[in-house]
Chains A and B, each alone.
Chain A
């Protein structure tokens, strides 16, 4: 099948979702009111609460939620063939992610721009709030561990990207200073920054840096993981304007350039999908597609992490309530587009079916490497860029995203440890350095505990990361559903996705539980049980909260 046809079907479906379904949700379910005074106006303080133009807010929201996860997940999931991944990304974006992200903004805006965590406490109950905190901690733990493994793998496989990836940090540091000290105006700095980044990408292939396979008894991969956590620990302690802010900004620009390049190359090349629609003979050891597909692709179809962004900074800056549809739903569509590009690169970017099969030798293999190699093949043949340079470009794109997420993730984990220090009266834990060490230590434990001393097996936790992320999404959907019940509005549009997610999450956890037990991987078995307990608690919380609010409503009617 032609990749352009799939591309048009996917984009068309998501466009229809935005123009038809989101309009229905906005007018009939959330009933957005253009005259509602949003928190950005009500509490305007020029700091957190600032009414912001909706296009700017969309850009901010989209670049905050889009990262490496919508690339890695779909690129792993195409092992079952392109069709299941494609359907889940497109339908997930339309009926799950869009409604979830949009709903999280709406729920927050209607409740003084509180975060989903606080809303869970207010709307559902205190117990649910504690579960929420645990789930967030688990998500952060897994995302940091897994992204360190992803970047380490990229650094080992694509040695040409080492110089640009680390050089980009230097570029960001300089940009941060230029802007902070107002030496140059921002548009000039943006152009210079992008040029500097691309110069690095073009010189990268000339100066490959290959980490030896073995360094002082550690594997090269493990050394990269340690270096990455060292970097992330330092970066997360710096003030945001020094590194994180300029990095995020360059990533945002790079995201748009990368998407244009990828989609452009598909249009020019019109490759054929070499992977089968549904893979009849998946490699041995690949788990069952249902339910694992729905947790392997989290970001790109539905991701709980988006709810944190939606209710954290986005809802405080919403100018008009009706903007929530564009910012939230279209933000999810943007993420779906990135996931779609990843699917196309990982299934159409190979010359023959045998090449593709050689990439996907086992579950968890392929992944982001398939995205880079497939994407590079398409860019090379479609736009004529040298294949090594194209691979470097895509590696830099994925690694920069993952790196920024690690920086942010460690920061948030540090805050959680500091909060625990406050709650449990441990003054030492409230200090920056010990809290960061605890965060890094717990992530390293997971990265090496899951994958063995060489750190290469860390990708096993990817589906587990997906399940935790879906649980977070489930809690957000629960908050929205309870609000809808209390407002006497139809709840099915959020309740059905919620039930679907919970069923798939719990089923996936049970299947993985058995797999970990059979493999004798007791570390992950334990982690799986922890997530499973959280999932069951969330499910019970859903049942009781909905029953309670329905009874309340019935009583009021009598």
Chain B
């Protein structure tokens, strides 16, 4: 492959490249627009399971990987509120861990 960074830009090549990237954007939108919601929900379900794993020790479920998941808790704190709401719990299920 040639590295054409140093070469002067050929306007025709630029146009083709712009057109191609536009085509790619359109194709990707067409591919994903119909199923974006379904896939995002499936992904959220997976993430929810992960949340349960990370906070399981605090809820009294023994977790052999607790030592490692503890490190992740601050990172997932932002999502904690949405998660417990989604799981049907109005308030934080953890006594020593109030969030709302």
- Is residue B49 within 8 Å, beta carbon to beta carbon, of the partner chain? no
Rounded to whole angstroms, the CA-CA distance of A385 and B23 in the bound complex is 30
Q: 8 Å CB contacts to B: which residues of A27-85? A: 46-48, 50, 52-53, 55-57, 59-60, 64
Rounded to whole angstroms, the CA-CA distance of A228 and B75 in the bound complex is 47
Contact A57–B33 (Cβ < 8 Å): yes
Contact A60–B36 (Cβ < 8 Å): no
Rounded to whole angstroms, the CA-CA distance of A52 and B34 in the bound complex is 11
Rounded to whole angstroms, the CA-CA distance of A330 and B24 in the bound complex is 24
Measured between beta carbons, the chain A residues less than 8 angstroms from B27 are 186-187, 190
Contact A60–B33 (Cβ < 8 Å): yes
> B26 to chain A: closest CB distance in Å?
6
- Is residue B97 within 8 Å, beta carbon to beta carbon, of the partner chain? no
> A308 to chain B: closest CB distance in Å?
13
Contact A56–B26 (Cβ < 8 Å): yes
- Is residue B100 within 8 Å, beta carbon to beta carbon, of the partner chain? no
- Stretch touching chain B among A141-149, A216-224, A245-253, A369-377: A245-253
**Which of B31, B37, B38 meets A249, CB within 8 Å?**
B31
> B47 to chain A: closest CB distance in Å?
13
**Which of B20, B33, B35 meets A240, CB within 8 Å?**
B35
Contact A249–B30 (Cβ < 8 Å): yes
> B84 to chain A: closest CB distance in Å?
20
Given A47-B36, A47-B40, A48-B37, verify A60-B30 contact (CB < 8 Å): yes
- Is residue A420 within 8 Å, beta carbon to beta carbon, of the partner chain? no
Contact B24–A60 (Cβ < 8 Å): no
Measured between beta carbons, the chain A residues less than 8 angstroms from B37 are 47-48, 313, 316
- Is residue A21 within 8 Å, beta carbon to beta carbon, of the partner chain? no
Contact B33–A239 (Cβ < 8 Å): no
**Which of B28, B29, B35 meets A245, CB within 8 Å?**
B35
Given A187-B24, A190-B27, verify A60-B34 contact (CB < 8 Å): yes
Measured between beta carbons, the chain B residues less than 8 angstroms from A241 are 35, 39
Contact A56–B31 (Cβ < 8 Å): no
Contact B38–A240 (Cβ < 8 Å): yes
> A249 to chain B: closest CB distance in Å?
5
> A253 to chain B: closest CB distance in Å?
9
Contact indicator per residue, chain B 36-58, by CB within 8 Å of chain A (1) or not (0): 11111110000000000000000
Rounded to whole angstroms, the CA-CA distance of A453 and B37 in the bound complex is 40
> B35 to chain A: closest CB distance in Å?
5
Contact A185–B24 (Cβ < 8 Å): yes
With most chain A CB atoms within 10 A of its CB, the pick from B24, B26, B34 is B34
> B28 to chain A: closest CB distance in Å?
5
> A112 to chain B: closest CB distance in Å?
15
Measured between beta carbons, the chain B residues less than 8 angstroms from A60 are 30, 33-34
Given A239-B42, A240-B39, verify A56-B20 contact (CB < 8 Å): no
> B56 to chain A: closest CB distance in Å?
23
- Is residue A134 within 8 Å, beta carbon to beta carbon, of the partner chain? no
Measured between beta carbons, the chain A residues less than 8 angstroms from B32 are 245
**Which of A47, A52, A252, A316 meets B29, CB within 8 Å?**
A52
CB nearest to B24 among chain A residues? A187
Contact A245–B26 (Cβ < 8 Å): no
Measured between beta carbons, the chain A residues less than 8 angstroms from B34 are 60, 64, 245, 248, 313
Contact A56–B33 (Cβ < 8 Å): yes
Contact A50–B36 (Cβ < 8 Å): yes
- Is residue A317 within 8 Å, beta carbon to beta carbon, of the partner chain? yes
- Is residue A437 within 8 Å, beta carbon to beta carbon, of the partner chain? no
**Which of B20, B31, B33 meets A50, CB within 8 Å?**
B33
Measured between beta carbons, the chain B residues less than 8 angstroms from A179 are 31
- Is residue A244 within 8 Å, beta carbon to beta carbon, of the partner chain? yes
Rounded to whole angstroms, the CA-CA distance of A56 and B29 in the bound complex is 7
Measured between beta carbons, the chain B residues less than 8 angstroms from A239 are 39, 42
Contact B35–A56 (Cβ < 8 Å): no
CB nearest to B34 among chain A residues? A60
Contact indicator per residue, chain A 283-322, by CB within 8 Å of chain B (1) or not (0): 0000000000000000000000000000001001100000
CB nearest to B39 among chain A residues? A241
Measured between beta carbons, the chain B residues less than 8 angstroms from A57 are 33
Contact B33–A52 (Cβ < 8 Å): yes
Measured between beta carbons, the chain A residues less than 8 angstroms from B23 are 187
Contact indicator per residue, chain A 162-191, by CB within 8 Å of chain B (1) or not (0): 000000000000000001000001110010
Rounded to whole angstroms, the CA-CA distance of A86 and B31 in the bound complex is 33
Rounded to whole angstroms, the CA-CA distance of A240 and B31 in the bound complex is 12
Rounded to whole angstroms, the CA-CA distance of A316 and B34 in the bound complex is 11
Contact A186–B39 (Cβ < 8 Å): no
Measured between beta carbons, the chain A residues less than 8 angstroms from B20 are 187
Contact A186–B24 (Cβ < 8 Å): yes
Contact B30–A252 (Cβ < 8 Å): yes
> B99 to chain A: closest CB distance in Å?
22
> B68 to chain A: closest CB distance in Å?
26
CB nearest to A45 among chain B residues? B40
CB nearest to B32 among chain A residues? A245
Rounded to whole angstroms, the CA-CA distance of A316 and B20 in the bound complex is 28
CB nearest to B42 among chain A residues? A239
Can you name 9 A-B pairs with beta carbons within 8 Å? Answer: A47-B40, A48-B37, A50-B36, A60-B34, A185-B24, A186-B24, A240-B39, A245-B35, A313-B33
Pick the 8 closest A-B CB pairs, nearest first. A47-B40, A48-B37, A186-B27, A56-B29, A245-B35, A240-B38, A60-B33, A240-B35
Q: What 5 additional pairs, Cβ within 8 angstroms, besides A47-B41, A55-B26, A249-B30? A: A60-B34, A240-B42, A252-B30, A313-B33, A313-B37
